[in-house]
């Protein structure tokens, strides 16, 4: 390794050109970075129409035209100098930035590594004006030019004068993919701005300005795909000066990668670890492991409560009340997902005929049972619903018309109380399972429940039901598992947490930051049943723990909680661990496969699913039911073709 020269070197001021190129390293990473900065400037200028012309992935040419307010002639030269901006004037403006740009570095940084030409005109000028820059230290010369109100900026030969930067650019296709993604992300934020993107003289997409909810959803569908908007729910909640709105994908609509996650703070697209953690927590126990949720969400709050100057490229923000934001985002989405019922999931549950065309399993003959018989069993299903999961046997009169072998098996149905004795031993004063509402009764289509009425059971695993759209298939174990789990959580949360003292207090060594975080949140830990005291600056003593966690690894659990408190200011580890134990008990307590059910028992499952939160997924995130519409069935048999 070469030895550094120990002789002191003289300090000199950098040239303006070199300083701009260094600044460009923070602002201009690739063509997509240039496009992001220029579009944000256009939006800040009040543009409602933006046209982008791209050549060779943006390496050869980036041209952006807008109908914004333009730049005054006297300000045009100043626009290409560093730290010159119309967005802020004093320190108070910096503390509550409402514009996308505010540093005044974009144009000078871009012009220092490219050949830039700008045409602009304001409504007060009789003609437009032109200015050019090519990275050299020279005063820009203004020339009059014909131009409508607005601004056109051309950026040619990006990094032509910095070959070390240019060699890090990827292929034309890769660079354009990055650029296109940036334009789409901005297009999802400002619905009132029309954006057209061309690449090598071909229109890639043309996003029309959206003025209503329907038009907004069309724009979201054009960016994220129609399946996303069909498999999502609209969210809009506000509290404590915070507002969140947008679309969240149903738990049944997930991605293998986190490639459909769009989050905006006051219109600015950001990637924030705090927010990502809150959203991931909201999807806990309803999304399959290894999968990622999809969402397009907008958070609005007072600009004074968020620092947008936390990252050179403005990709990240810092919230002044991080814990409040985390809790608000988590609770808003958690509540929204909990309210999703079968009626919301109908689209996501549909199976296309293509997915089923290779299936060779024939449905049993009982599927041909008349519809009238299905409706006639509704009242029996109501009786079963009121005792489902509690009574080991059903009223014999409700199943008197069934074959003897079905009667014999139904008399042993759902001995759930015995299977969850471990939970009842911990909470002897609570009923684990509550009564469920009776189903709607009647023969009119408007009275048919969302999940319809059961007509058969397939191989002792799936419940086959008929609703207005077609056929419903339910995984009876997965569905009952979610029903039992949700009722257990309600019963557990309804009472004070039972704690037990440790025979030998547990001493845990932590970092000073973690000890401080534990001390600050000691009241919260106490609510969860923990008694924790400090023992110096780098260790704590655990003297009491929740009874439900008596077999848990308390050392690892407390360390994880402390780490979360330091990083996010909040932790759901204890609740997650408690819920995982309840989920395990519910899994063992749920009805098993190969158990023959009567029609009333099957209808009881369907009615409980309709009344249970998050019933579309089991505790492990697997779907509990799917919808096969009549049109899909017709495709299987080529009816009407």
How do residues 580-590 score in pLDDT, each as one tens digit? 766 666 676 66
Same domain, 169 and 203: yes
Would you state the pLDDT for residue 434? 35
Same domain, 302 and 402: no
CATH value at residue 191: 3.30.565.10
The mean pLDDT of 608-627, rounded to a whole number, is 87
Would you state the pLDDT for residue 369? 30
Is 568 or 206 the better-scoring residue by pLDDT?
206
DSSP one-letter string for 103-154: SS-HHHHHHTTSEEEEEEE-TT-SSEEEEEE-SSS-PPPPEEE---SEEEEE
Would you state the pLDDT for residue 95? 77
Would you state the pLDDT for residue 42? 94
Same domain, 168 and 223: no
- Bridge partners for 541 per DSSP: 507, 533
Same domain, 441 and 471: yes
pLDDT value at 377 more than 60: no
User: Six-digit token pair at 431?
Assistant: 């009923």
Per-residue pLDDT reduced to its tens digit, 536-576: 888 999 999 888 777 778 888 888 888 888 877 777 777 77
C-alpha distances out from residue 548 to 404, 421, 432, 555, 582, Å:
43, 13, 15, 16, 9
Is 263 or 290 the better-scoring residue by pLDDT?
263
The per-residue pLDDT of the chain, averaged, comes to 78
User: In which domain, by residue range, is 150 found?
Assistant: 16-207
Residue 316 lies in a domain: yes
Same domain, 191 and 233: no
Helix (H, G, I), strand (E, B) or coil at 457: strand
pLDDT value at 316 more than 50: yes
Is 347 or 153 the better-scoring residue by pLDDT?
153
Q: How far is CA 238 from the centre of its chain?
A: 18
Would you state the pLDDT for residue 313? 62
pLDDT value at 32 more than 90: yes
Shortest CA distance to 23 belongs to which of 84, 83, 100? 83
Is 320 or 389 the better-scoring residue by pLDDT?
320
Same domain, 219 and 195: no
- Going by pLDDT thresholds of 50, 70 and 90, the confidence category of residue 314 is low
- For the chain, the domain total comes to 4
Same domain, 527 and 563: yes
pLDDT value at 174 more than 50: yes
Residue 641 lies in a domain: no
Per-residue pLDDT reduced to its tens digit, 276-294: 999 998 998 788 878 899 9
Tell me phi and psi for residue 318, to 5 degrees: -130, 125
pTM, two decimals, is: 0.70
């Amino acid at each position: 390794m070469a030895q550094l020269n120990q002789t002191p070197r003289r300090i000199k001021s950098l040239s303006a050109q070199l300083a701009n190129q260094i600044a460009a390293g923070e602002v201009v990473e690739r063509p997509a970075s240039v496009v992001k900065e220029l579009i944000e400037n256009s939006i800040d200028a009040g543009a409602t129409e933006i046209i982008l012309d791209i050549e060779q992935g943006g390496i050869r040419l980036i041209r952006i035209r807008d109908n914004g307010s333009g730049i005054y002639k006297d300000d045009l030269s100043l626009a290409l100098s560093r730290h010159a901006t119309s967005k802020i004037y004093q320190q108070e403006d910096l503390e509550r930035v409402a514009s996308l740009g505010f540093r005044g570095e974009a144009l000078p940084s871009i012009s220092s590594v490219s050949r830039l030409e700008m045409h602009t005109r304001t409504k007060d000028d009789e003609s437009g004006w032109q200015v050019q820059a090519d990275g050299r230290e020279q005063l820009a010369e203004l020339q009059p030019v014909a131009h409508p109100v607005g601004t056109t900026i051309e950026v040619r030969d990006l990094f032509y004068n910095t070959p070390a930067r240019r060699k890090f650019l990827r292929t034309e296709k890769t660079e354009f993919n990055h650029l296109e993604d940036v334009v789409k992300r901005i297009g999802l934020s400002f619905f009132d701005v029309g954006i057209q993107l061309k690449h090598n003289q071909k229109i890639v997409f043309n996003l029309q300005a959206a003025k209503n909810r329907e038009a907004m959803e069309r724009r979201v569908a054009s960016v994220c795909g129609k399946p996303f908007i069909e498999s999502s729910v609209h969210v809009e909640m506000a509290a404590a000066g915070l507002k969140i709105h947008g679309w969240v994908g149903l738990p049944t609509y997930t991605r293998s990668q986190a490639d459909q996650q769009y989050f905006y703070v006051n219109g600015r697209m950001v990637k924030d670890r705090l927010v990502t953690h809150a959203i991931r927590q909201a999807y806990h126990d309803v999304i399959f492991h290894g999968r990622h949720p999809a969402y397009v969400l907008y958070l609005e709050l007072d600009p004074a409560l968020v620092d947008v100057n936390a990252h050179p490229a403005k990709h990240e923000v810092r919230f002044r009340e991080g814990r409040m934001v985390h809790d608000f985002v988590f609770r808003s989405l958690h509540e929204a997902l909990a309210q999703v019922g079968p009626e919301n999931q109908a689209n996501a549950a549909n199976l296309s005929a293509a997915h089923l065309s290779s299936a060779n399993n024939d449905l049993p003959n009982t599927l041909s049972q008349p519809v009238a018989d299905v409706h006639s069993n509704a009242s029996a299903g109501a009786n079963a619903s009121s005792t489902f999961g509690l009574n080991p046997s059903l009223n014999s009169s409700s199943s008197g018309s069934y074959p003897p072998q079905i009667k014999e098996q139904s008399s042993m149905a759902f001995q759930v109380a015995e299977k969850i004795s471990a939970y009842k031993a911990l909470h002897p004063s609570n009923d684990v399972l509550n009564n469920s509402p009776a189903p709607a009764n009647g023969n009119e289509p408007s009275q048919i429940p969302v999940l319809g009425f059961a007509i058969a059971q397939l191989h002792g695993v799936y419940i086959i039901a008929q609703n207005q759209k077609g056929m419903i298939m339910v995984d009876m174990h997965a569905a009952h598992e979610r029903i039992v789990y949700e009722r257990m959580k309600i019963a557990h949360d309804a009472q004070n947490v039972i704690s037990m003292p440790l025979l030998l207090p547990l001493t845990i060594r932590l970092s000073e930051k973690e000890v401080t975080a534990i001390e600050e949140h000691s009241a919260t830990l106490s609510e969860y049943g923990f008694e924790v005291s400090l023992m110096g600056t780098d260790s704590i003593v655990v003297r009491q723990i929740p009874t439900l966690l008596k077999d848990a690894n308390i050392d690892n659990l407390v360390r994880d909680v402390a780490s979360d408190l330091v990083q996010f200011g909040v932790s759901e580890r204890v609740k997650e661990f408690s819920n995982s134990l309840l989920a395990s008990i519910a899994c063992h307590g749920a009805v098993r496969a190969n158990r023959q059910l009567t029609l009333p028992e099957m209808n009881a499952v369907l009615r409980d699913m309709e009344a249970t939160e998050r019933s579309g997924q089991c505790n492990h995130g697997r779907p509990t039911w799917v919808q096969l519409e009549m049109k899909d069935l017709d495709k299987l048999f080529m009816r009407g073709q």
